[in-house]
Amino acid sequence: MSGPTLAKASLVEVTLGDEDRPTEETGEPVEVQFNPETLKVSYSNTVESGDNPGSAAMQFISKNSTKLTLDLLFDASYDEATSDVRSLTEDVQYFVQPQEKTENGQTSFRIPAVRFRWGSFLFEGVVASLDETLEFFSADGRPLRAKMALSINNQDIKFRIPSPSADGPSNPGRKPLAPVSAGDTVQDMAAKGGNPAAWSDIAAANGIDNPRIPTPGTFIDLGGS
C-alpha cells in the first residue's frame, strides 16, 4: 500500500499579471531533481527623507521589493540515462537568458518571468542571479554534480499562497519516522514502506548524501514513500 506522494518543487515561465489580469503560465514546468533544504525570503524598502530635517521625515517609501534565494542540487549519478549533469541544469539556465519578444512590431529582449512553486509556497518574479558550481567529475572530465544558487526578485512586498487542493499531494512528515538499523539502505526502507521507487525522493527529503549507507540509529521520514 503506497503512502502520500512527496511534493516536488518546480519552476515555470509565466506572464506576470496585474490588477486587471491574473498571472498566466506560458511554459512547461521544470521539476527540480531534489527539493531545496531551505528557502530564504528577504523584504526591503527604500526609504527617502523629506525636505524637513529629522528622523520623522524619513517616512516616504520610494520603492520596495521581495527576494527569494534558494539552492538546487542536481546529480547525474541518480539517472543512468544522464552522463553530464549540465543536461539537467540547462532547463534552469533558461530562466536567466534573455528571450526575444515582439510586440506591436517592436523586437526586444527580456528575461522571462518565473514562478517557483513547492506545495503551498508560491513565488513569482524575475531571476536576478544564478550561480552554478560543477563538481564530482568523472574520469573523462564530465561534471556529474551541480549546485545552483538561485535568486528571484519581485518588485513588490507580497507573494501569493495558493489554496490547498483536495486531490493534491499530502505534506511530507505525517507518517511516523522509521528507525535505521545496521545494514539498512534507503532503498530497502522505501520498499518496506510500500513504494520502492520513491527511495531517491526520500533520501533527498532527509538530507542523506549516500542512500546506501544511512546512519544507523537515526530516523527517516518515509512520507515520500
> Residue 143 belongs to what H/E stretch?
strand 143-154
* Residue whose grid cell is 531517491: 200
Nearest CA to 11 out of 153, 169, 124, 163 is that of 124
- Between CA 214 and CA 185 the distance in angstroms is 6
Per-residue pLDDT of the chain (225 residues; tens, 9 = 90+): 444 557 889 999 998 877 667 878 888 999 999 999 999 999 887 766 666 555 555 555 556 788 999 999 999 887 777 889 999 999 999 999 988 877 777 887 888 999 999 888 889 999 999 999 999 898 888 999 999 999 999 877 655 556 555 444 444 434 456 777 777 888 888 887 777 778 888 888 877 877 777 777 677 777 654
> How is the chain split into domains, by residue range?
10-154, 177-221
CATH code at 177-221: 3.10.350.10
- 8 Å CB contact between 217 and 18: no
Look at the block and give the residue holding cell 521539476: 31
